[in-house]
Chain A
Amino acid sequence: MSPYEEIILDHWKNPRNKGRLPHPDLVGVEVNPLCGDAVRLELSVADGKVKEVRFDGQGCAISQAAASLLTELIQGRSLEELRKMSEEELLSALGGVIETRKNCALLPLRALRRALAQRA
Chain B
Amino acid sequence: MMDPRRVRQDFPIFLHRGDPRPLVYLDSAATSQKPIQVIEAEARFYREWNANVRRGIYQLAYEATQRYEEARAKIAGFIGAKPDEVIFTRGTTEALNLAAFCLGETRIHWGDRILITEMEHHANLLPWQVLAQRKGAELLAVGIDSEGRLDLEDFRKKLNAKTKVVALAHVSNVLGTINPVAEIAEAAHRIGAIVVVDAAQSVPHMPLNVAELGCDILAFSGHKMLGPTGIGVLWAKSALLEEFPPFLVGGEMIREVWIERATWADPPAKFEAGTPPIAQAIGLAAAVDYLQALGMSTVFSHGQRLTGLALEGLLRRDFVEIYGPKSQEERGALVAFNLKGIHPHDVATLLDQEGICIRAGHHCTQPLHRRLGIPASCRASFYVYNTEEEVEIFLSALDRVWEVMG
Contact = CB atoms under 8 A, between A and B. Distances in A.
B146 interface: no
22 contacts: A1-B353, A1-B354, A1-B400, A1-B401, A2-B350, A34-B361, A34-B362, A35-B343, A35-B344, A35-B345, A35-B361, A35-B362, A35-B375, A36-B343, A59-B343, A59-B375, A60-B345, A60-B346, A61-B342, A61-B405, A100-B349, A100-B352
Given A1-B400, A36-B375, A9 B345 contact: no
Contacts of B362: 34-35
Contacts of B361: 34-35
A33 B329 CA distance: 34
A4 B344 CA distance: 15
Contact of B343 (A2, A9, A61): A61
Nearest to A36: B375
Interface residues of B, number: 19
Contact of A62 (B346, B375, B376, B400): B346
B126 interface: no
B320 interface: no
B375 to A, nearest CB: 3
Q: Is the contact region of chain A dominated by helix, strand, or loop, or is it mixed?
A: loop
B77 to A, nearest CB: 40
A1 B350 CA distance: 7
B322 interface: no
Nearest to A12: B405
B208 interface: no
What class of interface size applies to chain A in its complex with B? 10 to 19
B353 A2 contact: yes
Interface in A88-120: 98, 100-101, 104
7 closest A-B pairs by beta carbon, nearest first, are: A36-B375, A60-B343, A60-B345, A61-B346, A60-B346, A1-B353, A1-B400
Given A2-B404, A36-B343, A62-B346, 5 more contacts: A2-B350, A34-B362, A35-B344, A62-B345, A104-B345
Contacts of B376: 35-36
Interface of B: 342-346, 349-350, 352-354, 361-362, 375-376, 397, 400-401, 404-405
Contacts of A34: 361-362
Nearest to A3: B353
A3 B349 CA distance: 8
Contacts of A60: 343, 345-346
A37 B375 CA distance: 9
A3 B353 CA distance: 7
Nearest to A37: B343
B343 A1 contact: no
B346 A3 contact: no
Contacts of A9: 404-405
Interface string A2-21: 11100001001000000000
Most chain B beta-carbon contacts within 10 A, residue among A9, A35, A37, A98: A35
Q: Which of B342, B343, B397, B404 has the most CB of A within 10 A?
A: B343
A31 to B, nearest CB: 10
Given A1-B397, A1-B404, A60-B343, A98 B350 contact: no
Nearest to B375: A36
A11 to B, nearest CB: 13
A2 B347 CA distance: 11
A98 B343 contact: no
Contacts of A62: 345-346
Nearest to B348: A100
B366 to A, nearest CB: 9
Contacts of B349: 3-4, 98, 100-101
Nearest to B400: A1
A8 to B, nearest CB: 10
